[in-house]
Structures are given as structure tokens and as C-alpha cells.
A and B are shown apart, each in its own frame.
Chain A
Amino acid sequence: MTKIMMITKEGEAFLARIQEISGEAITACDQCGTCSGSCPMASEMDITPSEMIRKTQMGQQDVLSTKAMWLCAACFACTVRCPRGIDLSKIAEALRQISLRQAVDHIDIAGIPAPERARLPQIALVGAMRKFTS
């Protein structure tokens, strides 16, 4: 049985944009699920990493309002295991960039309660600022 899925014009443009920012061959994903099975943050995510790439493949822009892309810790567990050689960490970064390039920050470092902020080492703060702020 052949199943035909439709992708809209805007969807195609969205896919092309994410492909361009990430440099990854997003359409090569065959949904094996290895990334989701390797992801340490998957249990906290609203959609799994393999759903994240599937939605992107299909040009579904609502992927941008999921929590998942912000929960990726760029740990590269999926990167080293994907049988299709796709680096999903770069796709999650590209999705975050769509929002960050509009100068919309994901977190407010100044809003972290002072005692907690004082506890956090630079390495955590600088890393979070790089990934979550524009």
C-alpha cells in the first residue's frame, strides 16, 4: 500500500530553512527511533526527538512551540548513534535559532532567584546563555 503525505508550500520552505541552518539531510531520517531511545531528556520532552525530526520533515511549523527543542542538552548521544548519520542536535539547534533570531529569549537569567544564581557555576550560566538567549 502506498501512502502519500502532502506537504504544503510553506511547509516546504520551513523544511528548507531548517535544512539550511542545520546543514543536515533531514529527509534521510527513516524514523527508526534510535535517537529517542538514546536521549536522556526524552522523558521530560512533550514530543520525542524522532517526532521532532518527523514534524520538521513534514514542514509542520508547530514543532516550534514544543518544549522538546529547548530540553535538548546537546549531549550528542543521538549524533553518535543515528544509523542514517543525521546529527539531530544540529536540527534542535536550528529550531531554537528560528526563535532566537527574532531576539526572543527562552530564559531570563536575571529572573533566577539570587541564591540559586549564586550557586550556579559560570560553565552552567554561559552554556545556558549560549543556548537559550539571543
Chain B
Amino acid sequence: MKPTTQTKKRRSTKRDDSPQPVHARSSRTMFPYYPGCTLKTTAQNFEDSALATAAILGIDLVEIPRWNCCGVVSSLVENDRMHHVAPLRNIIRTQEMIAERGGEIESRLVTLCSMCTNTLRRTNLFLKENPEDLEAINDYMSLEDNYEGGVEIVHFLEILRERGFDAVTNKVSNPLEGLNAAAYYGCMLLRPKDIGIDDPEDPTIQENLISALGAAVIDTPYKKMCCGSYQTVQDRYAVAELAYDILTHAQREGAEVIITACPLCAFNLDDRQKEVRERHPDFRSIPVLYFTQLMALAFGLGEDALGFELNSVDPRPLLMAKGLLAPR
């Protein structure tokens, strides 16, 4: 199910310089794209920075029409067909777009939000592995075309890895020298194993990106630990304790910023720093950015693409002090 196979573990966080076909870098590529609801509201800066940096890399993300919320989380109940319907509708929208546009668009749906990625991939995998269930759901969704099983779901980070991080470095006009960045994965990019985009115990994909942008990689053992997810709704202080552990461990290793690919991780690690400070007055705040914001900064893009005004802990003072962002 993984579109790219990792033959060996890359311990080094140096740039990924696996050979890439030249045509993949020189021509523009169009992908169907699923934003999910949170990227249209509190995480608008995630979408803006992603679309702008993708365009610079020659990747056009085309939003699928009439998409709906995927439901955030997968049902963990055996044979729960009903909860596959919402994710599947989006996959069918993608299938239609691919059919309409013929060969000019990729047959892989690009996602940005980790939780959408996980949910869409789980449904896609379930339906590909269980033809009887697919048939039953196809029959049930009588107003839709049947899903033929030909769509793949890929996270934007996987597209970057597949094209080679050198292609990213080539577009860097503002190398992030002197900036210490830690990658945070949380759960949904990595687990379960057959759904994840990288090694669940030793992921490197975001570290390779950080290096490609010229920043220093800070490793932290808490990068794979859950931030508490939707528990933030029922017990925000329990989540604040998890955020405290995740953030302070990264800080102890020297991190000045943390990057993530999930609007829920971002909320729990960034906005919940308010609750962290209530419980731990000695806590020093630390900016949490989407990985695409870090890319936009290194690509020298402007405020429209950076969208720092939506970050709860404002990264601008730090970035200005480091000479990475022009003072206004």
C-alpha cells in the first residue's frame, strides 16, 4: 500500500539524495487534492503555505469538487461499513476527477492533514482488501458511481520524498541557517504500520525536509508520542501535560521551533501552551509551525503564504531576531 518503499533505514538526517528521473523535476504535475475542513478554518495557514510551496515545486494541487468531512477518525469496530461511506465519497470524487481529466492529472489524491490522511487511507485499504464489503457499500451508495479501487492516497510529504529533497533545496532562497527545528509526528502519519508514511519507530521524512531547508535537525524521543488528540475536548489539562512533556523535551535538546503536519497536533501543542503555562509557570513558549510554513519561509515567500498570524505562539519575533524574516 505504501507508494514508496524504504529499502534501508536512513539513520542520517542529511538530505535525501536518491536519484530522481529528470522529467519528474522539470515538468509541472497536477494532483487531485483533499483539504479537509480544518484547513479551511483554523489551519488556513497550513493550506495557504502548502499550495504556494507546491506551486513553486511544479506541483499543482487541484481541490476535488464537493468534498465532505472524512469523519476525522476511523471506526475501530469490525466490519463497520457505515463509517467508510464519508471517506469513500471523497475517493469517488477523486475517481471522477481523474476520469474527467484523462491523463493530465495523477491518479493519487494528495492530503495534508495527518488525520484525514489516516482516515482516507484506512478506508481505501479496507475496501481494496475486502471486495465483498466494497460491493455492499457500492450498492448502498446507489447515487454514486461504483468505486473501482484505482485511487491512491498520498501525503504531500511523500510526494516531496519521492521527488527527492534536493528538488526542495533547489528552491531555497532563504536558507534557515542557525535555526534549530524539531519534527513532531504524533500518531496518524505513522500508525498503524500499514497506513503510516514512514517507519513507525524511527521516522525521518520531516527531518530530511528540515535539513533540505538549511535548518538544524533536533531529535526528540517524544516526536512519536500522541498529543492526546480529541481528548483535548474532554480534558484539556490532561492534554496540556502531554504537550508539556513533548515541548520541554524538544526544548531540552535545543529546539527553537517544532514542525507538524496535523491541525489537531498544532492545536494541542500550540494553543494549549496557554494551559501549559497555567500548570507550569516556568514553561517557556515555543512556536509550532506547519512543515509547509517552514518551507514557505525558506522559499522566501510573503505573508500571504506564511500565515503566521494564525499561529498561537507568534514565531515572527524569533525569526526576525535570527535574520530569517524581514522586520516589518
Residues of A within 8 A of B (CB): 20-23, 40-41, 43-44, 70-71, 73-77, 79-80, 87, 89-90, 92-94, 97, 106-107, 109, 112, 116, 119-128, 130-132
Contacts and interface: CB of A to CB of B under 8 A. Distances in A.
B280 interface: no
Interface in B121-138: none
B228 interface: yes
B173 interface: no
Given A90-B77, A121-B43, A130-B72, A40 B233 contact: no
B27 to A, nearest CB: 34
Contacts of B113: 123
B5 interface: no
B73 A130 contact: yes
A131 B77 contact: no
Contact of A93 (B69, B77, B226, B242): B77
A127 B191 CA distance: 17
B73 A131 contact: yes
B231 A73 contact: yes
Interface string B61-89: 00000000101110111110000000000
B115 A41 contact: no
A23 B264 CA distance: 28
B295 to A, nearest CB: 22
A123 B38 contact: yes
Interface residues of B, number: 44
Contacts of B191: 75-77, 79-80
B282 interface: no
12 contacts: A41-B226, A43-B241, A71-B231, A76-B192, A77-B224, A116-B236, A121-B38, A121-B41, A122-B37, A123-B37, A127-B73, A132-B234
B307 to A, nearest CB: 15
Interface string B89-100: 000000000000
Query: Residue among A75, A112, A124 with the most chain B CB within 10 A?
Result: A124
Grouping DSSP codes into helix (H, G, I), strand (E, B) and loop, the A interface class, with mixed when no group exceeds half, is helix
A132 B233 CA distance: 10
B264 A79 contact: no
B187 A97 contact: no
A87 B231 CA distance: 20
Contact of B233 (A76, A90, A128): A128
A22 B115 contact: no
Interface string B196-230: 00001100000000000000000000001110111
Contacts of B233: 107, 109, 112, 120, 124-125, 127-128, 132
B228 A73 contact: yes
A123 B190 CA distance: 18
Given A120-B232, A121-B264, 19 more contacts: A23-B78, A44-B235, A73-B228, A73-B230, A74-B229, A75-B226, A77-B187, A92-B76, A94-B77, A120-B233, A121-B263, A123-B38, A123-B43, A124-B232, A126-B37, A127-B233, A128-B231, A130-B73, A132-B230
A85 B193 CA distance: 12
B238 interface: yes
B73 to A, nearest CB: 5
A127 B115 contact: yes
Contacts of A80: 190-193, 200-201
B78 A73 contact: no
Contact of B264 (A41, A70, A127): A127
